[in-house]
Amino acid sequence: MKFAVVFQLNCLIALAFATSSAALGQQAINELNDDSFAAIRDLIVPDDDELAWQKIPWESTLWQAVRKANLEDKPLLIWAMNGHPLGCT
């Protein structure tokens, strides 16, 4: 799971929902149609703050990173999780 627990971010999300949901309405949330598509999409897609960690230019396979670090004479930071962190964890 990807999550953010930053207070300011929660406030922004709450404000966004208060605005978008009012316009969206009960029926539009329940019923997926051409008119509600964009609003429902916006409820699902993470915002820029939630995606900030992806601004790091992560290598996505360990061995490629080892080769690159060896070439550049740099240490490695390895983020290894059950489920690829750049995919689904």
What is the contact surface with another protein in residues (CB under 8 A)? 1-5, 10, 13-14, 16-18, 20-22, 24-26, 29-30, 32-34, 37, 40-41, 43-46, 50, 54, 56-67, 69-70, 73-89
Least distance from C-beta 48 to another protein, angstroms? 13
* Selection from 16, 85, 15, 7 nearest residue 45 by Cα: 16
Least distance from C-beta 52 to another protein, angstroms? 12
Least distance from C-beta 71 to another protein, angstroms? 8
Unique residue bearing structure tokens 């709450």: 14
* Selection from 8, 85, 21 nearest residue 47 by Cα: 8
Q: Which is nearer to another protein, 48 or 75 (CB)?
A: 75
User: How would DSSP label each residue in 3-18?
Assistant: ----HHHHHHHHHHHH
